[in-house]
Structure 1
Amino acid sequence: MLDVFARRLLDRPLNTAASSLARLGIGANALTLSGFGLGLVAVPLLAFEAYIAALILILLNRLADGLDGPLARTTGHVSDLGGFLDIVCDFVFYSAVIFGFALGQPDYALPAAFLIFSFVGTGSSFLAYAIVAAKRGITTDLRGRKSLYYLGGLTEGTETVAFLIVICLFPDWFPWLAWGFGIACWITTATRVLAGWRNFRGS
């Protein structure tokens, strides 16, 4: 829901930073995978309830995710592989963070499982829409130039990052926040399914 506004604020500084990385010879795919690795290190930190340290790595992961696209465009190396890696790493990372909370607090396992279940709904509806949109030649640059069609919703990247920040700062609130965010994810899934039903009914 907020990604469009976030892009307007972040595009210029991200493009500037991407130009600096390009001069250093850093590749977009290397940045994607490095950020993913940093994000996964947050999982054992969460398991040991080192929430602030985990939050730092989560933010570094999100920074890398924000920079890899502009870096690819700056260097002229936009590729299907880059888009593929970006999406896979994002979805695995989001679920891994929630899994880390469950490892650290087994009492949180049920709301964590519900939230990961909800992520499956948002992820599958997002990808299914993107696949059919690509087949039909439907494109959009509302959220910036992307490798895939980005269908919005109530819970997009900006809201998810905000959620991850809050649960790291207030881990005791995790169960209630997870239930609430999971419900919001299912609302997103429902709106995407309705959009697909409306837009793809024709042959």
Structure 2
Amino acid sequence: MIDPLLNKLLKKPLCGAAKQLIKCGVNADAVTLIGFIIGILAVPAIIFEQYILALCLILLNRLGDGLDGAIARETSPTDAGGFLDITLDFIFYSAIVFAFICAAPEQNAIAGSFLMLSFMATGGSFLAFAIMASKHNIDSPKYPQKSLHYMGGLAEGFETILVLCLFCLFPSQFVLIASIFAAICWLTAIIRIWMGYNTLIATIKPKDLSG
């Protein structure tokens, strides 16, 4: 929900760091992969209840996510890089929730599974519309720098990371936090489906619909 504002605030410092990494020969895809590996290391940390370590790894993952985009914009963004970035992001988000389920299955299993299901709803509606938006040349004015159409919502990147951090800071409140955020994700998915459907109806010409 506040991703566009956050992107504006972080653009300059990320750009500066990106330029230094480019001078060292680091490319965007390498940062994406390294950031993903660092983030996935939070899974065993959570399972063994090392929550502060997990929090640090999650934040480092997000730093990498910001840097890879900045590097791409300073060099040459590619569809392959955008594909890799968003795919690994979705895996990372669900992996953190899975780790909390493993850490306390009797307590966290239902709420965690419901949250992962809500991730499927938000992610599926997001990606499905991105495909159609690309096919019909629908612009994304809030995220012109992205390699695919970004449909906004109540639950976006910042909100998701905030929740993952709250899980690490207050692991005993996982069920409550997960349940609240799952409800927000479902509301986001419903809004995206409604907006996406109506946008496509309004955009696609009758001859396209007949095909």
Q: TM-score range by the shorter chain?
A: over 0.9
Query: 1:97-123, CA deviations, whole angstroms, 9 ceiling, x for partnerless residues?
Result: 000111111121110000000000000
Q: Which runs of 5+ in 2 are unaligned?
A: none
Partner of 1:146: 146
Count matched residues. Answer: 202
**In structure 1, what is the Cα distance between the partners aligned to 2:168 and 2:2?**
21
**In structure 2, what is the Cα distance between the partners aligned to 1:141 and 1:93?**
27
The one-letter amino acid paired with 1:5 is L
Q: CA RMSD in A?
A: 0.9
Identity %: 48
Partner of 2:193: 193
Q: Is the 8 A contact 2:143 2:149 kept in 1?
A: no
Q: Equivalences for 1:1-203 in 2 at 5 Å?
A: 1-76=1-76, 78-106=77-105, 107-201=107-201, 202=204, 203=209
Q: Is the 8 A contact 1:115 1:182 kept in 2?
A: yes
The one-letter amino acid paired with 1:191 is I
TM-score, length-scaled by structure 2? 0.93
The one-letter amino acid paired with 2:84 is L
**In structure 2, what is the Cα distance between the partners aligned to 1:114 and 1:140?**
30
TM-score, length-scaled by structure 1? 0.97
TM-superposed CA distance for 1:144, in Å, is 4.8
Highest Rg: 1 or 2?
2
Runs of 4 or more off by more than 6 Å in structure 1?
none
Provide closer, same or farther for how the CA distance between residues 144 and 48 of structure 1 changes in structure 2, counting only shifts above 3 A: farther
Provide closer, same or farther for how the CA distance between residues 49 and 142 of structure 1 changes in structure 2, counting only shifts above 3 A: same
**In structure 1, what is the Cα distance between the partners aligned to 2:144 and 2:163?**
22
Q: Which runs of 5+ in 1 are unaligned?
A: none
SS of the residue 1:143 aligns to: coil
